Structure 1
Amino acid sequence: MQKLDADKLDLRGIIRPGDTILWGQACAEPLTLTEALMAQRADLGGVSVFLGSGFSDTVRPEHADHIRFLGMGAVGSNRRLSKAGVLDVLPCHVSKMEPYVAEGVIPCDVAFVQVSPPDATGQFSLGLVSDYIRAAVRRARVVVAEMNAQVPQVPCAEPLTPGEIDFLVESDRPLVELAPAAITDLDRAISKFAQAYIPDRATLQVGIGSVPEAVMSDLRGRRDLGIHSGMLGDSVVDLVEAGAISNAYKEVDPGITITGALIGTRRLYDFCHRNATVRMHPLSYTHNFSVLSKLSRFISLNSAVEVDLSGQVNAESAGGQYVGAVGGQVDYVRAASASPGGRSIIALPSTAQNGAVSRIVAQLSGPVTTARSDVDVIITEYGAADLRGKTLSQRARALIEIAHPAHRETLDRAAHVAGKNAA
């Protein structure tokens, strides 16, 4: 392991022309390294970068002059790359990312990883993300680690050892943070219907956004909830402090909150620092069907751009523009369906564009992210449509009932025409 001076970092001796660089996504972005890459991009002979989600201002469309950007989707700041037409999207389930990287299906010549200062054993915590970065470290020709003094020492199933790091750059700078989304009255209305599907002792998987924030906020009166989720936000801290989360009744990892990424603020990071009740795992565990299906009352909560009258879910694009990702939605939807007492919730507002556009639609305008055969319950501010065991005509009626009243007549006509054509 060779130490490099952050102020004199020259990537030309590390990165070769044609290389693909992969780094810790979301709040785990190693900013010193990624900023240096953007600044030195013209001197590197043409490289590619594979992106997960992004919440910093590091990568901008103009950087595509010397860098080819690939990624899982247009989550966070990556949306501006998508809008500018410089992000080549790979549509895949999150659970596939780790084997894709490990097998070289997704190239990784250079891995940038952010780590904490070493613990008493000399090992480095991955800090804020453990998803597919572990696979990237194993696959890469070169591993460059930014040891940031402000990264929490979060317990990891697989911490990094000095022998896995080729170059180490030390820094002491604020981490990327994502503040909780503001909760509106609309979000509260959606949450009210979701609460009926989340019992005490449930184990939760929750995404990011204002609707999940509302749902989590309204769970403070629950007891003995568990967490097994691809990511955690600040709301988990609220529920632990309220006595709602204990993880006591999880059949797998009792007493431990399991996650693959921390996406929040300093409050979350400090809470997880050396916290023995939290453990970071790679995707092969956080999204593992055989693990998840052993959990009773596993509740998956995700969102969508739109849902059609048969129950198909589009969580990726709107108006012809890629705005989301396949993500882990299908992984968790299927796991919740296999869990004893589990439920899969897709929650979304009934309209977009100030009510002008219905998000319950006759036909999807974008791709099918989650198939209608996998969908369980759809929730809007007007109610919950439980689609299990329902025929196509029954699904259409149930979904029209939770659409915005201003759009129900149009949807009803579309359903009638579809029914006649099917006959």
Structure 2
Amino acid sequence: MPHDSRILHPALRGRLMSADDAARLILPGDTVGMSGFTGAGYPKAVPAALARHISAAHAAGQPFKVSVWTGASTAPELDGALAAADGVELRLPYQSDPVCRQRINDGRMEYLDIHLSHVAQFAWFGFLGKLDVAVVEVAAILEDGRLVPSTSVGNNKTWLDQADKIILEVNSAVPAGLDGMHDLYYGTQLPPHRKPIPLVRPSDRIGEPYLRCNPDKVIAVVQTDAPDRDTRFAAPDEASRRIAGHILEFFAHEVAKGRLPAELLPLQSGVGNIANAVLAGLGDGPFENLTAFTEVLQDGMLDLLGSGKLAFASATALSLSSQAREAFNADLARYRSRILLRPQEISNHPELVRRLGVIAMNGIIEADLYGNINSTHVMGTQIMNGIGGSGDFARNGFLSIFMTPSTAKGGSISCIVPMTPHVDHTEHDVQVVVTEQGLADLRGLSPKQRARLIIERCAHPDYRPALRDYCQRALAGSPGKHTPHLLEEALSWHVRYLRSGSMAAQA
């Protein structure tokens, strides 16, 4: 094939084979570490071939499942294909595929939802068991066996180190100009011998541009020529624009008060339409010379880099729409000096998040009156995607901002509720809650003060009377007055929705 010039190691060129032949080297019961982070840099061919082999085995009456570890979410040809084949025993740490999600919620797939910064170190600590095979997409293989990473780094460094066997997908669709845009830090150590990570600015290079790989562990090399998933974002709607406006007004207030510098502090932004709306607002706002220390560089952040508003971005993945990817590839030489892609154990490292003073902005499913956040479960029991890296940033950031529309499902669900049936971020890690209705700055407030502010600033007007009534009756009837609750009613809104299809009392 014409792109075998990307495979410069003679012995590894000799291990070229088809995706089907490579997939046959993965055995039932294996634990497989796949590359990929939020639809970027995932293997394109081997997982789909593995799904076909699993389906054939099932048709022949043979059991065949594997456990799958990744960096974060991947794409239909990985998560979706393996889930549809009923081929996944255990999945971690984050997923967003609808087929995968359905299998998890049906109880047909085990799912371990953990903080993204924990995954690599848990693997090194031995908490997760043995890693049999790593399947990693790369842009090229150098003469000495080192690897040019793809559009995401994620946990690839750990998978390559930990796995007994390695399968490499060399993707010629990854632009060769990515060579040198990565920063792979190999200085992390196991307790009790850890040393500080020498990073004090998002732009600091602290590692190497290439992944280390033991060629003796490579059992197959597969060539592909396929782009990443087209990560599309809807144009900001009115609610998203209003949320963005509230956050920008808050930033301006903090700068005026002297609590933030004029260029703000490094930004972290979760993935999604609201996050992109906030980034678009920053593009129109007064702030210059911004920086980012985040997980995912998506369209809105690329626009900020292109406009010059964003001076530098550190991330672990390029999760772009096809249109943004074309713009990135066309101007890659300019972006090379302003973007670094790192392992997620660095991009999400709590020590670095706290040291840099990152401003964390993440979306949620719902918040309760006291500021506890549910970012993962619908109606308390059904997983949506996972906690991802939001906890890595929220607990350690200079500011932790959580944002959501005030209602969902056409107004039948209030995203501000008396009590969340699932908590991912406790009130202790939440400083700001924002909806299109307004912004509640919870810093320095007691629980009852928080409740009043969240109701008046964030709840939808249709639900405010019921929330006020609940608070008043809870204060009167609760045996404890610090965080008043009526336990027999605290989750009644969710029960009402499950029974009637609406949280509104009159339904």
Instruction: Name the TM-score, length of structure 1 as normaliser.
Output: 0.89
Deviation at 1:47, TM superposition (A): 3.2
Deviation at 1:9, TM superposition (A): 1.9
Using a 3 Å threshold, how does the CA distance of structure 1 residues 410 and 171 change in structure 2: closer, same or farther? Answer: same
Alpha-carbon distance in structure 2 between the residues aligned to 1:94 and 1:203 = 19
Deviation at 1:278, TM superposition (A): 1.5
Structure 2 unaligned segments of length 5 or more: list them: 1-11, 185-209, 252-261, 482-507
Alpha-carbon distance in structure 1 between the residues aligned to 2:295 and 2:461 = 35
Could you say what secondary structure the match of 2:292 adopts? Answer: strand
Asked if 2 retains the 8 angstrom alpha-carbon contact of 1:102 and 1:136, the reply is no
What amino acid does structure 2 have at the position aligned with 1:243? Answer: G
The one of 334, 343, 348 equivalent to 1:287 is 348
Asked if 2 retains the 8 angstrom alpha-carbon contact of 1:202 and 1:224, the reply is no
Q: Are 2:191 and 1:168 equivalent residues in the alignment?
A: no
Segment of structure 1 superposing worse, 196-205 or 168-177: 196-205
Aligned to 2:66: 48
Q: Are 2:255 and 1:237 equivalent residues in the alignment?
A: no
The one of 423, 431, 435 equivalent to 1:376 is 431
The one of 18, 43, 52 equivalent to 1:39 is 52
Asked if 1 retains the 8 angstrom alpha-carbon contact of 2:267 and 2:359, the reply is yes
Alpha-carbon distance in structure 1 between the residues aligned to 2:387 and 2:239 = 25
Alpha-carbon distance in structure 2 between the residues aligned to 1:84 and 1:116 = 37
Using a 3 Å threshold, how does the CA distance of structure 1 residues 348 and 363 change in structure 2: closer, same or farther? Answer: same
Alpha-carbon distance in structure 2 between the residues aligned to 1:284 and 1:408 = 41
Aligned to 1:22: 33
Alpha-carbon distance in structure 1 between the residues aligned to 2:159 and 2:213 = 16
Deviation at 1:242, TM superposition (A): 1.4
Q: Are 2:208 and 1:157 equivalent residues in the alignment?
A: no
The Cα offsets for residues 251-295 of structure 1, whole Å up to 9 and x where unpaired, read as xxxxxx211112113434525578132111112211122222222
Kindly tell me the number of residue pairs found equivalent between the two proteins.
405
Using a 3 Å threshold, how does the CA distance of structure 1 residues 208 and 123 change in structure 2: closer, same or farther? Answer: same
Asked if 2 retains the 8 angstrom alpha-carbon contact of 1:48 and 1:69, the reply is yes
Q: Are 2:378 and 1:318 equivalent residues in the alignment?
A: yes
Could you say what secondary structure the match of 1:285 adopts? Answer: helix
Deviation at 1:215, TM superposition (A): 0.3
The one of 303, 310, 318 equivalent to 1:262 is 318
Asked if 2 retains the 8 angstrom alpha-carbon contact of 1:379 and 1:385, the reply is yes
Aligned to 1:250: none
Alpha-carbon distance in structure 2 between the residues aligned to 1:275 and 1:123 = 20
Q: Are 2:110 and 1:88 equivalent residues in the alignment?
A: yes
Alpha-carbon distance in structure 1 between the residues aligned to 2:74 and 2:20 = 26
What amino acid does structure 1 have at the position aligned with 2:76? Answer: S
Segment of structure 1 superposing worse, 140-149 or 275-284: 275-284
Deviation at 1:121, TM superposition (A): 7.9
Using a 3 Å threshold, how does the CA distance of structure 1 residues 412 and 201 change in structure 2: closer, same or farther? Answer: closer
Asked if 1 retains the 8 angstrom alpha-carbon contact of 2:277 and 2:300, the reply is no
What amino acid does structure 2 have at the position aligned with 1:344? Answer: S
Q: Are 2:368 and 1:308 equivalent residues in the alignment?
A: yes
What amino acid does structure 1 have at the position aligned with 2:147? Answer: F
Alpha-carbon distance in structure 1 between the residues aligned to 2:16 and 2:65 = 22
Q: Are 2:419 and 1:397 equivalent residues in the alignment?
A: no
Using a 3 Å threshold, how does the CA distance of structure 1 residues 40 and 354 change in structure 2: closer, same or farther? Answer: same
Alpha-carbon distance in structure 1 between the residues aligned to 2:407 and 2:19 = 49
Asked if 1 retains the 8 angstrom alpha-carbon contact of 2:431 and 2:442, the reply is yes
Aligned to 1:339: none
Deviation at 1:120, TM superposition (A): 8.8
What amino acid does structure 2 have at the position aligned with 1:362? Answer: P
Alpha-carbon distance in structure 2 between the residues aligned to 1:377 and 1:161 = 41
Aligned to 1:102: 124
Alpha-carbon distance in structure 2 between the residues aligned to 1:259 and 1:17 = 34
The Cα offsets for residues 44-93 of structure 1, whole Å up to 9 and x where unpaired, read as 963323253133244244311x4424222442444343344333221321
The one of 244, 247, 250 equivalent to 1:194 is 247
Segment of structure 1 superposing worse, 317-326 or 82-91: 82-91
Higher CA-based Rg = 2
Q: Are 2:93 and 1:72 equivalent residues in the alignment?
A: yes
Using a 3 Å threshold, how does the CA distance of structure 1 residues 32 and 242 change in structure 2: closer, same or farther? Answer: same
Alpha-carbon distance in structure 2 between the residues aligned to 1:85 and 1:125 = 38
Asked if 1 retains the 8 angstrom alpha-carbon contact of 2:116 and 2:345, the reply is no
Using a 3 Å threshold, how does the CA distance of structure 1 residues 245 and 205 change in structure 2: closer, same or farther? Answer: same
Asked if 2 retains the 8 angstrom alpha-carbon contact of 1:112 and 1:144, the reply is yes
What amino acid does structure 2 have at the position aligned with 1:395? Answer: R
Could you say what secondary structure the match of 1:294 adopts? Answer: helix
Could you say what secondary structure the match of 1:70 adopts? Answer: strand
The Cα offsets for residues 317-360 of structure 1, whole Å up to 9 and x where unpaired, read as 11231103121112101221xxxxx3211010001110111110
Q: Are 2:165 and 1:142 equivalent residues in the alignment?
A: yes
Structure 1 unaligned segments of length 5 or more: list them: 248-256, 337-341
Alpha-carbon distance in structure 2 between the residues aligned to 1:272 and 1:98 = 30
Segment of structure 1 superposing worse, 351-360 or 170-179: 170-179
Alpha-carbon distance in structure 2 between the residues aligned to 1:191 and 1:119 = 44
Q: Could you say which structure has the higher helix fraction?
A: 2
Using a 3 Å threshold, how does the CA distance of structure 1 residues 419 and 3 change in structure 2: closer, same or farther? Answer: same
Deviation at 1:10, TM superposition (A): 4.5
Asked if 2 retains the 8 angstrom alpha-carbon contact of 1:272 and 1:278, the reply is no
Deviation at 1:144, TM superposition (A): 0.5
Asked if 2 retains the 8 angstrom alpha-carbon contact of 1:6 and 1:171, the reply is no
Asked if 1 retains the 8 angstrom alpha-carbon contact of 2:19 and 2:46, the reply is no
Using a 3 Å threshold, how does the CA distance of structure 1 residues 67 and 211 change in structure 2: closer, same or farther? Answer: closer
Q: Are 2:268 and 1:205 equivalent residues in the alignment?
A: yes
Alpha-carbon distance in structure 1 between the residues aligned to 2:76 and 2:64 = 23
Alpha-carbon distance in structure 2 between the residues aligned to 1:275 and 1:174 = 19
Could you say what secondary structure the match of 1:3 adopts? Answer: coil
Instruction: Name the TM-score, length of structure 2 as normaliser.
Output: 0.75
Using a 3 Å threshold, how does the CA distance of structure 1 residues 121 and 245 change in structure 2: closer, same or farther? Answer: farther
Could you say what secondary structure the match of 1:393 adopts? Answer: helix
